[in-house]
Structure 1
Amino acid sequence: MAEITIQGSKLSSSLKDLLMADDIVPGAAPSYQLCKTIYSFHPLGSKIVDQPIKLAMSQKRKISIPDSPEERVREAFERKWEEIGADKYIANTWRLAKIYGAAALVYGARGEDTKQPIAPEELAKKDLYFNALDPLNTAGSLVLNQDPNAPDFQKPTIVTAAGQTYHPSRALVFFNEDPLYIEYTNSSFGYTGRSVYQRALYPLKSFVQTMVADDMVSRKVGVIVAKMTQAGSIADKAMAVFQGLKRSVVKEAENDNVINITPEESIETLNLLNADGALTTARKNILENIAAAVPQPAKLLNSESYAEGFGEGTEDAKDIVRYVEHEQQMSKPLFTFFDRIVMRLAWTEEFYATIQAEVPEYKKVPYVKAFYDWANAFEAEWPSLLVEPESKLVEVEDVKLKSIIAALEELLPNLDPDNKTLLIRWAASNINESKHLFSNPLVLDYEALKNYEPPAPPESPEAPPPFSGRS
């Protein structure tokens, strides 16, 4: 077994010690420590876990809060989201769940007992902190009940970290895949989800073997084979020295040098063509086996470029988009957990007072009603990963604008002032979403618009009767 020597001491590689072990066979389950080692040291360990997360979170969600001062309310939400670093905690919890099969996201307040709930309306007044916990942090609390008649059958209830319990309202348990009945997961110390490495453990071991073979080939590929006429059995010392000089000349020869050899002699390199073909095929098959076991599209793991065309390009891209969209859907509980907290931190009574001062229609609306109206109307959608060119986006928004104008022309003449105002507000909200057509938002005074009565158009003079002589 290969060893690293530093000043006489021998340091073995933990990755090689674990993955080259004979007891890792198809179907072997990874332990907590092995999952950590694969993520930390295996060339594909981080890629398998982090690449889907990075792709899924590569674009921000589109936030909308209909029937609200949307621009102000959305900006306050997004500003607080960035301030507390919600994306970082979501990604870390998601990452830990993929590595080990289970993770927990908890929050606390300095000086507050974690066993007690915090009233939602008090969150903005607390000094909050957030932690992402792995199965070793929560060992013993995520085992899950296996009684099929119990209300908490295979459902996480209490999260405990280092002997400290978190109230259920202050914790979210997140699994990679759903738990199976009486299937114990070694990496998460419980009947939970399973590590993303579990099915791929054996091909991950095989990939390390290809790394060892690559290293061997790289060390042998530069070997020069000099086929020289050997001295006879009666060669004296001088002849042996001459042979040594010839080898030195071959070893030191570089570009623009000239060396002499006899017609019977030749200089070649090792023939590694067969090794190259075998290594390439083996590595490709191993990568495809890992991709099938993870599972994720093989092109994500191989980092291959996308060819143009229906079979190899467009459809591959769509396959990856479908995979990423599924990952985004699976992460929804993490975002929902933070959405409710950030709403409370962003839309405070102080913030609402500024809205009341600037938007007349909210002056008589209680804070609690406005908050729950905004929270219930809150929508967050992931933008498509298949980004259209700018010209195409402009065309789409132009069609939407024409549809809005047509709706106004058709409905406005038949509506009372209150509904006219609502229709115009709807149109303005949709127009303000057309960022590619208009750089500045359309802002109207809806209270003044509701009471506005347009002046009557001037009467047009009657046309003179035919042949009346009136000009």
Structure 2
Amino acid sequence: MAEITIGGSSLSSALTDLLMADDIMPGAEPSYQLCKTVYAFHPLGGKIVDQPIKIAMSQKRLISIPNSPEERVREAFERKWAEISADIFIANTWRLAKIYGASAIVYGAEDVDTNAPIKPENLAKLELYFNSLDPLNTAGSLVLNQDPNAPDFQKPTVVTAAGQTYHPSRCLVFFNEAPLYIEYTNSAFGYTGRSVYQRALYPLKSFVQTMIANDMVSRKVGVIVAKMKPAGSIADRAMAVLQGIKRNVVKEAQTNNVINVTPEEAIETLNLLNADGALTTARKNILEDIAAAVPQPAKLLNSESYAEGFGEGSEDAKDLIRYIKHERETVQPLYQFFDNIVMRLAWTEEFYATIQADLPEYKDVEYTEAFYRWKNAFEATWPSLMEEPESKLVEVEKVKHEAMIGLVETLLPQLDPNNKAVLIQWAADNVSESKKLFPNPLILDYDDLKSYRPPEPPDEPEAPTHAL
């Protein structure tokens, strides 16, 4: 068993104990404990799991709620989203699914039975808590039905944590990859998705071997080889002392020092050129094997710089962008889970009362009607990782603005007053969205606009007549 000795005490290395085991062969499946150890201690364990999540969540989603008091409604949503730390819970649930193959997010409230549904309209009245659960927390409740004729075939239906069952409306099970029929996942204790480490376990073990080899090379690279002429077949004590002095001279020598050696003697270092080439090649191939097994772009693992960066659109960058786009699509169920909750927490009846007090068009609109109108219009899109320079973004908005003006000038003279107001409102909404050109929104009174009639031009005066 591998041990590390520090100050006379022996410390067992869990990573070495597990990954150096002879029974880990190609195709070996990681257990729950091994997945935890790889994530916690392996140099690539955290990177494989966390780096895609960090890149995917490095940008905020662009929230829009058309046909609403958009600025205020969006700000209320984003404020409540940050207040309950939704991003943190999404990242934790996503992370656990990648590590073990399955995870769950649940929410509850004090003095409310976990197995009882909570009416959506009551969510804002309760002090909610959220928990991200791993397969050990869920106590094997994610073992899916394998009957192909059952309605719940390969579908999670119940989540149980420490003996308490959560109502299906209050939880969401999230898998890393889709479950396979009769394919039991040891790390998740059920017929679920699978850990990102499952296919990569053997090359992850090989990577640890390269770490050990690197350590051996680093300890040997500074060894000095002194080729000295022997003292003779019979060396007395004086000659042995002299040889020791010569070795110390070599040992103490440094820059700006001068030492003497005979022509038959030489001072060299260990030749590790062959080891360097073999280690570099092996390490590179192992990283590519791990990347292929995870799978993710190899450059995410080996930390090589991108040839041109995201903005210039190199092929490497495009490959990463496609990968992150797929990751964002995969995690969409978690965002939808929190979107529905945050809408209820942010757009409360009290909040809607302030909207009615400030905006006359909502005075006769019931709260429920307005809420579902906003909910159905809610859109959340991810910005592109390939960010354009500021000047390019302004140029794009300018072109859109000119096209909009041309359309308005073409249609406006041909429309009745009601449709004129609709067209102008559409143009004003687009102007308000062009934050690069117009930082402040354009707000008009469209009711007055509908009833507005431009003054008739005065009649042309008749030409005076002159008597002959």
* TM-score, scaled relative to structure 1: 0.96
Q: What amino acid is aligned across from residue 417 of structure 1 in structure 2?
A: P
The aligned counterpart of 2:190 is 190
Q: Is residue 218 from structure 1 mapped to residue 222 from structure 2 by the alignment?
A: no
**What residue number does 2:434 align with?**
434
Identify the residue that residue 388 of structure 2 maps to in structure 1. 388
Q: Which residue is 1:280 aligned to?
A: 280
C-alpha distance in structure 1 between counterparts of 2:102 and 2:459, whole Å: 77
State the partner residue of 2:104. Answer: 104
Task: Tell whether 2:144 aligns with 1:144.
Answer: yes
Deviations 1:188-211 (A, max 9, x none): 000000000000000000000000
Q: For the residues of structure 2 that align with 1:407 and 1:461, how far apart are their CA atoms?
A: 36
Q: Is the 8 A contact 2:107 2:171 kept in 1?
A: yes
SS in 1 for 2:314: helix
The letter of the residue matching 1:412 is L
TM-score relative to the length of structure 2: 0.96
Partner of 2:361: 361
Q: Which position in structure 2 is the counterpart of 1:3?
A: 3
Q: Corresponding residue for 2:341?
A: 341
Change (3 A) 1:359 1:240: same
For structure 1, which segment, 143-152 or 418-427, has the greater mean C-alpha deviation from structure 2 after superposition?
418-427
1:449 lines up with 2:449 in the alignment? yes
Equivalent AA in structure 1 for residue 209 of structure 2: Q
Taking the aligned partners of 2:386 and 2:313, their CA distance within structure 1 comes to 13
For the 8 Å contact 1:96–1:102, the answer to whether it is kept is yes
Q: Which moved more, 1:402-411 or 1:361-370?
A: 402-411
Q: 1:202 corresponds to which letter in structure 2?
A: Y
What CA distance in whole angstroms lies between the structure 2 residues aligned with 1:76 and 1:414? 40
CA contact (8 A) 2:228 2:266 kept: yes
What's the offset of the Cα at 1:361? 0.7
AA aligned opposite 2:366: P
Long gaps (5+) in structure 2:
none
SS in 2 for 1:283: helix
Q: Is the 8 A contact 1:306 1:313 kept in 2?
A: no
Shift of 1:418: 2.7
Separation in 1, partners of 2:41, 2:408? 61
For residue 359 of structure 1, report the CA deviation from its aligned partner: 1.1
Distance in 1 between residues matched to 2:185 and 2:439, nearest whole Å: 53
Aligned mates of 1:12, 1:101 — CA distance in 2: 27
- Compute the displacement of 1:144 (Å): 0.5
Count of aligned pairs between the two proteins: 465
Q: Does residue 122 of the first structure (1) align with residue 122 of the second (2)?
A: yes
Percent sequence identity is 78
Task: Verify the 8 A CA contact 2:2 2:17 in the aligned structure 1.
Answer: no
Provide the C-alpha distance between the structure 1 equivalents of 2:122 and 2:421, rounded to a whole number of angstroms. 36
Identify the range of structure 1 (17-26 vs 406-415) with the bigger mean alpha-carbon deviation.
406-415
The answer (yes or no) to whether the contact 2:309–2:317 under 8 Å persists in 1 is no
Listed as ranges, the matches of 1:454-469 within 5 Å are 454-459=454-459
Report how far residue 460 of structure 1 moved: 5.4
How far apart are the structure 2 equivalents of 1:423 and 1:118? 43
Q: Deviations over 1:162-182 (max 9, x none)?
A: 001100000000000000000
Q: Structure 1 residue 456: deviation in Å?
A: 2.3
Q: Describe the superposition over 1:363-392 as per-residue Cα deviations: whole angstroms up to 9, x where unpaired.
A: 101000000000001111001000011111
Counterparts of 1:89 and 1:103, CA distance in 2: 11
Do residues 46 (structure 1) and 46 (structure 2) align? yes
After TM superposition, give the deviation of residue 451 of structure 1 in Å. Answer: 2.5
Q: Return closer, same or farther for 1:214/1:450 CA change in 2, 3 Å cut-off.
A: same
Partners in 2 of 1:204 and 1:386 — Cα distance?
31
Shift of 1:461: 5.9
1:456 is paired with a residue of what secondary structure? Answer: coil
Letter in 1 for 2:411: L
CA distance in 2, matches of 1:320, 1:357: 48
CA–CA distance in structure 1, aligned partners of residues 262 and 461 of structure 2: 117
Structure 2 CA distance for partners of 1:450 and 1:145, relative to 1, 3 Å: same
What does 1:161-176 correspond to in 2, within 5 Å?
161-176=161-176
Shift of 1:3: 2.2
Offset of residue 2 of structure 1? 4.6
Cα offset, 1:458, TM superposition: 4.1
Q: Deviation at 1:148? A: 0.6
The amino acid of 2:36's aligned partner reads K
Q: Give distance in 1, aligned partners of 2:108 and 2:187.
A: 26
On the 8 A contact 1:360/1:447 being kept in 2, the answer is no
Aligned-pair RMSD on alpha carbons?
Answer: 1.8
Contact persistence 1:200–1:290 (CA under 8 A): yes
SS of the residue aligned with 1:105?
Answer: strand
Q: Which residue of 1 aligns with 2:266?
A: 266
